[in-house]
Structure 1
Amino acid sequence: MNSSTPSKPKKPVNRKSLLLTTILGAILLLGALILFMSIEKVPQGYQAVIYSVSGVKEQTKPAGWHIISPLDKAVHYPIRTQTKEYDDLNVATSDGKNLNMDISVNYHVDPTKVVNIFNKFGNADIEGLESGFLRTRVQDGLRQSVAKFSVIETFGVKTSEIKKNTIEMLQDNLTKQGFIVEDIAISSPKADKATQAAIDERVKANQELERAKTDRAIAEENAKKKKIEAEGQAAANEILEKSLSDQIIRKQMIDKWDGKQPITIGSDGVIVDVNK
């Protein structure tokens, strides 16, 4: 006769407990997601402007980790030195020559004006400002500086003045906007072949002119030197001639006589009798 162990009856599933567990898990997951969305990291050397659909907040965020509303967004502005290079900016000289120049700009954003920058430019990031607003201002400042000088001056003696004028204009125009220009570096201009050939010819001509001036100056100095030497020699001869009286000549001959050859000193001078 077969016997079997009776199976235990299954416990009914507690649907209410399962539902609560699911809801609690969803809440925790949602909370973690909201917390993650609320964390804002501001990199070192930057300052953040916080804004939302309701407007921009006056209180900015320094570098570090911050908890903000998940509905808020942030724009970061560099308050430490940044270097931006602009290549092949087109400029024209006072004599109508078109040149391309490279310029490197060291700048930073004024931390007290980051909110003003946001209000002026909206949520444009710094890369957008560098490629748009800043590029336009830099090119305009460089163009105005170069336009004061000829192409030869731009390539030579006026390079330092061009840099000085450019940085002064950029500082005047950008400081009030919130961008502090610290320094700039301008490369040598790049000209087309025809312009470069004309510049080379002009430089060669100037070099030859300077060489001719130098040669002339040397010749003049040599002539002056020879004149001074001649005048000195003439003066010396005159003094010597005046000092050579008959008495002095006779005395010198007597002083030099060796006592062997007889000499005669008369009114006609000194006569040496070579036959004795």
Structure 2
Amino acid sequence: MNKNLIKLTAGGILALFLFITALACTERIDAGHEGLLVKMYGSDKGIQDVALVTGRVWYNPLTEQVFEIPTYVQTVNYDAFTVNAKDGSVFTVDPTISLKVIDGQSPKIFKKYRRGINEVLQNTLVNHIKDVYRIEFNKFTTDQIISSREAFENGVQAKMIAFLKNEGFTLEQLTSGIQYPEAITKAINEKNAAIQDAQRVENELKVAEASAKKLIVLAESEARANELRKVSLNQLLIQQQFIEKWDGKTPIYGNAPAFFKSVN
């Protein structure tokens, strides 16, 4: 009886141990990730040439390890750094890059860097990204960068796409965040201020010209009206206006007014 109880207890403990061991030997790969089964020992230690799909993966925890590689778009805001243009001017670049792992390329990335994707994006790629900007900046002078900003940005983006594709990533969006040298910024601001002042003066001149033209038109109209009044103001018209305004009363003293001058 005691032996049976001992056997049952031992069997239960063994089953529990096997269950716990089984749980420790499985890993669930979440959606939006690729699972990598990495061999920690052996001549080809590093990685199998298989990208595991989303699901539950069974492995030997003593000799293997499972990594999850995110394949969704990630945005990295890198620290600002300085680069020199072709003529020596110093520009500040504060890049923000949105990118993702190319589907099926996570084994290549892990085998090359032996690091997680976040560490690769935050640290390993930084110097390469700086090199892309340095190479492109060295092709342009300061004036060319300012006047041909689109061509410069297109060159940076083309090189960044090619570089990241070779590393197993696809570029989704790139913002360079370029800051001009202080002297260039000051010169641009002064130029813009001069343009605005010139525009303001031009607008004021237009207003003054319009006002002057208005006064001329009013003066010409008034002069024309006076001329017409002068022409039309004859003796008969004056007498008619006098009659229209007279109240019909004669003065109490003095001579009676003569309304009409004798024409004899």
TM-score by length of 1: 0.61
Higher relative contact order (CA 8 A, sep 6+): 2
Where do residues 62-81 of structure 1 align in structure 2 (5 Å cutoff)?
A: 62-71=53-62, 72-81=64-73
1:152–1:199 contact (8 Å) kept in structure 2: no
| Paired AA for residue 171 in structure 2 | V
Shift of 1:211: 8.8
Corresponding residue pairs, total: 196
Q: Deviations over 1:179-214 (max 9, x none)?
A: 22232112241x6xxx414531355258758998xx
| Paired AA for residue 29 in structure 1 | L
Match of residue 161, structure 2, among 164, 171, 174: 171
User: Where do 5+ consecutive residues of structure 2 fail to align?
Assistant: 202-264
Shift of 1:130: 0.8
Match of residue 159, structure 1, among 141, 145, 149: 149
Q: 1:158 to 1:28 in 2, by over 3 A?
A: farther
1:81–1:106 contact (8 Å) kept in structure 2: yes
Q: 1:30 to 1:85 in 2, by over 3 A?
A: same
Secondary structure of 1:180's partner?
Answer: strand
Answer yes or no: is 1:131 the counterpart of 2:122.
yes
Shift of 1:141: 1.0
Match of residue 93, structure 1, among 68, 85, 92: 85
Partner of 1:251: none
Partner of 1:121: 113
Q: 1:73 to 1:185 in 2, by over 3 A?
A: same
Match of residue 33, structure 1, among 9, 20, 24: 20
Partner of 1:141: 132
Partner of 1:105: 97
Match of residue 185, structure 1, among 159, 175, 179: 175
Secondary structure of 2:31's partner?
Answer: coil
Secondary structure of 2:36's partner?
Answer: strand
Partner of 2:76: 84
Secondary structure of 2:107's partner?
Answer: helix
Q: 1:198 to 1:117 in 2, by over 3 A?
A: closer
Whole-angstrom distance in 2 between the partners of 1:147 and 1:179: 25
Shift of 1:40: 1.2
1:48–1:61 contact (8 Å) kept in structure 2: yes
2:91–2:178 contact (8 Å) kept in structure 1: no
Shift of 1:146: 2.4
Shift of 1:152: 5.0
Partner of 1:20: 7
Match of residue 200, structure 1, among 179, 182, 186: 186
Secondary structure of 1:112's partner?
Answer: coil
Shift of 1:63: 2.1
TM-score by length of 2: 0.63
User: What do you get for the CA RMSD once the two structures are aligned?
Assistant: 3.0
2:37–2:52 contact (8 Å) kept in structure 1: yes
| Paired AA for residue 182 in structure 2 | Q
Answer yes or no: is 1:46 the counterpart of 2:33.
yes
Whole-angstrom distance in 2 between the partners of 1:113 and 1:22: 49
Q: 1:24 to 1:168 in 2, by over 3 A?
A: same
Secondary structure of 2:95's partner?
Answer: strand
| Paired AA for residue 79 in structure 2 | D
